[in-house]
Amino acid sequence: MLQKLLPVTFIFFALLAGYFTPSLLDAIQSDTQAVDLDDYCMLSTTPCKSDGTTIVMEHDSTQPLEPTRVFVVWPESQAQSLTLEMEGLEMDMGVVKFRLEGQGNGHYEGELMLPVCTVDTMTWYGQLSDGQQEVQTAVKMRTIHE
């Protein structure tokens, strides 16, 4: 009886390990990848210039669920719109995507609205893309308690 049960148990554990190993490896690798914010264009009311692109935000930081306008001047881009993808640095909250519409002559604008989180201050980082090139961007989000 034990001889018949041993191969079945082995197969069960092999399948279990094969199923969970990719998830465990992804979790370990994503936790060990450090983000150096010095490589990112920090969005604020002060224009940030990177690779011929100028980005400025309506406020110095954003608040959860409050729309904040973002203005971009990207003279070399011929795209009709830009895509801004961001993810949380201090907390995994998934990836949020925003679209900035072209206003003509390499000018773009749009709104970003970040989700609520449990920490008072959070950094979101990612990239602004025209489909051909990318600019690394980051923004501070602060929760204001009233």
What are the residue ranges spanned by the domains of the chain? 1-33, 37-142
* Cα torsion 127, 98, 62, 59: sign: positive
- Cα separation, 98 vs 22, in Å, equals 29
* pLDDT at residue 31 is higher than 70: no
pLDDT band at 32 (very low <50, low <70, confident <90, very high): very low
**Per-residue pLDDT at 144 exceeds 90:** no
Q: Give the pLDDT score at 30.
A: 57
- pLDDT at residue 29 tops 90: no
Q: Is the pLDDT of residue 126 over 90?
A: yes
**pLDDT value of residue 74:** 97
Rounded mean pLDDT of 28-48? Answer: 81
What is the CATH class of 37-142? mainly beta
Closest CA to 110 of 74, 79, 80, 69: 69
pLDDT digits (tens, 9 = 90+) for 94-114: 999 999 999 999 999 999 999
Least confident segment among 6-10, 47-51, 95-99, 101-105? 6-10
124: pLDDT confidence band, cut at 50, 70 and 90?
very high
Provide mean pLDDT across the span 75-93.
94
Tell me the two tokens of residue 86: 């961001």
Q: What's residue 28's pLDDT?
A: 66
Strand-pair partners of 62: 141
